């Protein structure tokens, strides 16, 4: 009887340990799966916050930039050909972004000391206009890819940084208004980024929309038809056009 009782206790303890180990493995697997799920924040959502080292010192994004438009531009690695041309062109267009009130922040999945070397190398090169560029915006250290994860730029299947090629346009209230992702072998269009920021600012300020291929100075679209009566009919004809009942344009009028 004592042997039976002893064996029962031994079996019970062994099974308890097995169940405990299985539960721990299951818990760890669940935790790992959750850690590998990196969701992209979408249009209309708050931009994720981060504090990190950069070539301009420690920054907290986006709060350090107050009620400004922000452009978050990410890279998978320093000293890559495509990324280098993008950084230099962003630097070349800094005055254009400044005129729009846009603060540029670059994130790259390399350590700070490599960022500094990369920045120095690019500033020693010359562009097509034979002028050297000065990179005033910060290049942020994301060696631990925590920022890339917050912004959903990591491939959850393999943790590769190849997909850290995102662009996020963020408004003064720190709401994401546009986002793009590009492969490593295709350079991004800075002209398009300037165009979209201008369009977003115009639509927000004037409560209008922009048609296909819109550029600054082109006609815009109305959210709803203007009110027409006998007194303002001539004004409507001068300032608006409607090729169809569902399509109303407001003519561009330089001020």
Instruction: Please state, in angstroms and rounded to a whole number, the distance separating the CA atoms of residues 217 and 73.
Output: 27
Give the closest residue to 102 by CA, choosing from 72, 66, 65, 69.
Answer: 69
- Residues 110-125: b if buried by 16+ CB within 10 A, e if exposed: bebebbeebbeebeee
Three-state SS string over 143-185 comes to CCCHHHHHCCCCCCCCCCCCCCCEEEEECCCCEEEEEEECCCC
Rounded to 5°, the CA angle 9-11-17 comes to: 105
Asked if residue 131 lies in contact with residue 137, where contact means CB atoms within 8 angstroms, the answer is no
Residue 229, token pair as written in the block: 């009566």
Apex 110 CA angle, 107 and 115, nearest 5: 75
DSSP characters over 5-32: HHHHHHHHHHHHHHHHHHHHHHHHHHHH
The active-site residue out of 47, 71, 83, 133 is 83
For residues 132 and 151, give the distance between their C-alpha atoms in angstroms, rounded to a whole number. 32
Structure tokens at 150: 């917050």
Q: Is 250 considered catalytic here? A: no
Active site residues: 83
């Amino acid at each position: 009887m004592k042997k039976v009782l002893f064996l029962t206790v031994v079996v019970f303890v062994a099974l308890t340990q097995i169940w405990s180990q299985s539960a721990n493995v299951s818990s760890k697997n669940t935790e790992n799966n959750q850690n590998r799920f990196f969701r992209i924040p979408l249009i209309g959502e708050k931009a994720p916050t981060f504090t990190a080292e950069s070539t301009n010192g420690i920054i907290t994004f986006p709060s350090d930039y107050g009620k400004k438009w922000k452009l978050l531009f990410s890279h998978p690695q320093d000293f890559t050909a495509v990324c280098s041309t993008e950084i230099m062109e962003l630097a070349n267009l800094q005055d254009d972004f400044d005129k729009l009130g846009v603060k540029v922040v670059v994130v790259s999945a390399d350590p700070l000391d490599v960022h500094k070397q990369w920045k120095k190398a690019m500033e020693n090169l010359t562009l097509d206009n034979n002028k050297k560029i000065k990179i005033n915006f910060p290049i942020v250290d994301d060696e631990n890819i925590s920022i890339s994860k917050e912004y959903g730029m990591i491939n959850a299947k393999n943790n590769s940084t190849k997909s850290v090629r995102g662009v996020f346009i963020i408004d003064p209230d720190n709401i994401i208004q546009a986002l793009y992702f590009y492969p490593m072998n295709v350079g991004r269009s800075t002209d398009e980024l300037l165009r979209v920021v201008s369009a977003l600012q115009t639509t927000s300020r004037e409560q209008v929309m922009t048609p296909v291929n819109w550029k600054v100075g082109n006609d815009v679209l109305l959210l709803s038809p203007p009110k027409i009566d006998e007194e303002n009919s001539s004004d409507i004809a001068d300032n608006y056009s409607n090729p169809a009942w569902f399509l109303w344009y407001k003519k561009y009028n330089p001020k």
